[in-house]
Amino acid sequence: MRPHPAGAVTTPARMLEMPTWLISRAYAHAHRLLSDGFAAAGSRGYHYRLLGALEEFGPASQAALGRGTGIDRSDVVASLNELAGPGFIERVPDPDDRRRNIISITPAGTRQLRKLDKVLAGIQEKLLAPLPAADRTEFVRLLTRLLEPDN
Amino acid sequence: MRPHPAGAVTTPARMLEMPTWLISRAYAHAHRLLSDGFAAAGSRGYHYRLLGALEEFGPASQAALGRGTGIDRSDVVASLNELAGPGFIERVPDPDDRRRNIISITPAGTRQLRKLDKVLAGIQEKLLAPLPAADRTEFVRLLTRLLEPDN
DNA sequence: GCCCAACGTTGGCGCAGCCAACGACATTGA
DNA sequence: TCAATGTCGTTGGCTGCGCCAACGTTGGGC
């Protein structure tokens, strides 16, 4: 193979130390692990967030779920539809407020959540593998601090 | 306003300390800053990556650019089209290999790149604001290390 | 009773990442 | 030499995640 026109092209040096770049690479890496793992379990990120919120806080309206998980109302609708298909959640109209649905997690949903929890735990491990144990806590601390202002 | 069905819903606790979650939040935060800043300058992430690679490595084929920047060949095509519109890059067929185009950055492209560089510098500042100076280097170090295995 | 706000839902957009397929061309190996 | 293999640019399509606008329905404040 002949050399490329002007030699090899690699990641531009101007980016290699930029936090935004590093974060976006780290995200890409994590997201790949995540979506592979979730896909293998037949779910995706939104599903996990919603099931997690439902288990932790009990039945809630779609709007409350959206606010709590940071998922847009319209995306909550779609995701809950997907979760309702396999019977992971139940949608019941709120008799006290006919605008609302009350969403609850089903036993099957809880089982799915457990499954996803396991997948996720494995992924944290894989992701942090390059960091010695001491650095991992520090890493989490720094990230948490970075995000503190916007809660 | 009446209370929600089962009290307030917030981010599920199971996520709050998961690296994958923190990284995805950090990315969301950074991405918002980035795409706002880039949009104000009439560009987006792919444009910056491509212009940066072109300036650093000189003229290159589209395939080489794609490999170097991690952008898919098909997306390189579209992005270069967008960059060619305002005249930020030039596309010339390679006389030595008629499969290839040779892409070069134009003076206007270099000016645009400078503009984006400035935007970006400001964003790093904004992003790292919550971290004391000492922590910033550590943060970059940890992220770099985390990504080392996959280069 | 009016007006405004919240609710669920539909439909649409953007960015980033990826994959499959195509015709054109180049390189390799029998 | 010529067929196979592989690369290049390009088209078109898909997913995840994050948004926004609009609509009809319903509830609460005045």
Q: What is the pLDDT of residues A85-115, one digit of tens each?
A: 999 999 999 999 999 999 999 999 999 999 9
Q: What is the C-alpha separation between B53 and B46, in angstroms, rounded?
A: 11
Q: Determine what percent of chain B is predicted with pLDDT higher than 70.
A: 93
Q: What is the pLDDT of residues B28-77, one digit of tens each?
A: 999 999 999 999 999 999 999 999 999 999 999 999 999 999 999 999 99
pLDDT above 60 (res B141): yes
Q: Tell me which fold the domain B42-126 belongs to.
A: Arc Repressor Mutant, subunit A (1.10.10)
At A150 the pLDDT is: 55
At A114 the pLDDT is: 96
At B14 the pLDDT is: 81
Q: What is the pLDDT of residues A109-139, one digit of tens each?
A: 999 999 999 999 999 999 999 999 999 999 9
Q: What is the pLDDT of residues A50-72, one digit of tens each?
A: 999 999 999 999 999 999 999 99
* Cα dihedral B31/B33/B36/B40 (nearest 10): -130
Both tokens of B127, joined, read 């992003």
Whether residue B46 contacts residue A15, with contact meaning beta carbons closer than 8 Å, is answered with: no
At B9 the pLDDT is: 81
Whether residue A14 contacts residue B52, with contact meaning beta carbons closer than 8 Å, is answered with: yes
- Residue at the smallest CA–C1' distance to nucleotide D19: A72
First to last CA, chain A: 52
Shortest Cα–Cα distance, A94 to chain B (Å): 9
Chain A contact set for B124 (CB, 8 A): 18-20
At B110 the pLDDT is: 97
Shortest Cα–Cα distance, B97 to chain A (Å): 10
Note whether A148 contacts B130, CB cutoff 8 Å.
yes
Both tokens of B146, joined, read 């985390």
| DSSP track, A60-126 | B-HHHHHHHHT--HHHHHHHHHHHHTTTSEEEEE-TT-TT-EEEEE-HHHHHHHHHHHHHHHHHHHH
Catalogue the E-assigned strands of B39-145.
Answer: 89-93, 101-105
At A10 the pLDDT is: 82
Q: Tell me which fold the domain A41-123 belongs to.
A: Arc Repressor Mutant, subunit A (1.10.10)
CA distances from A124 to A23, A116, A119, B72 (A): 16, 12, 9, 27
At A148 the pLDDT is: 81
Note whether A19 contacts B140, CB cutoff 8 Å.
yes
At A79 the pLDDT is: 97
Q: What is the pLDDT of residues A1-51, one digit of tens each?
A: 444 444 578 887 888 888 999 999 999 999 999 999 999 999 999 999 999
Q: What is the C-alpha separation between A66 and A53, in angstroms, rounded?
A: 10
Note whether B9 contacts A65, CB cutoff 8 Å.
yes
| A68 contact partners, CB below 8 Å, separation of at least 6 | A53, A57, A60, B8, B9, B10, B11, B12
Confidence of residue B13 (pLDDT cuts 50, 70, 90): confident
Domain residue extents for chain A: 41-123
